[in-house]
Amino acid sequence: MKTGPPDRKAQAQRAALNALRRAQRAADKAGVKLSDWEGEFLESVTERVKTYGRAFADPEKGGAGEAFSVMQHIKLKEIVAKAKGEPRFPPKRGGGFKRRGAAKPEPDAE
């Protein structure tokens, strides 16, 4: 008896819930005190994923098959890094268009 292809939404939901549980367990195991905001973030995102299958409503904020928006994913990574005791680096912003320096004249081949 052959089963059909797996449901991508259900897979994304399970993966998201597992990631949230891993983050919470890592923080508890390491004895790291999460801020009130971080604890509330984990709880609210968990509830939204359980209820709706994803934690955001605007499709422009994340992929179609994803359970987290881009920013939620970044915040979750920051919480996991904090639990592991890794140094936190500020997000890189603004590379933009930069000057590469003055144009250097080519040396004359004499």
- Domain membership flag for residue 65: yes
> Which amino acid does the sequence have at 8?
R
- Domain membership flag for residue 3: no
Per-residue pLDDT of the chain (110 residues; tens, 9 = 90+): 677 777 888 888 898 999 999 999 999 998 988 889 999 999 999 998 898 888 887 777 777 778 888 888 888 999 999 888 887 776 666 666 766 666 666 777 65
19/73 Cα distance (integer angstroms): 10
- Domain membership flag for residue 48: yes
Q: Report the domain count for the chain.
A: 1
pTM surpassing 0.85?
Answer: no
- Domain membership flag for residue 18: yes
20/45 Cα distance (integer angstroms): 8
108/3 Cα distance (integer angstroms): 72
Spatial neighbors of 80 by CB under 8 A, at least 6 apart, are 22, 23, 26
- Domain membership flag for residue 109: no
Domain housing 13: 8-84
Where helices occur in the chain by DSSP H, the ranges are 8-30, 36-52, 70-84
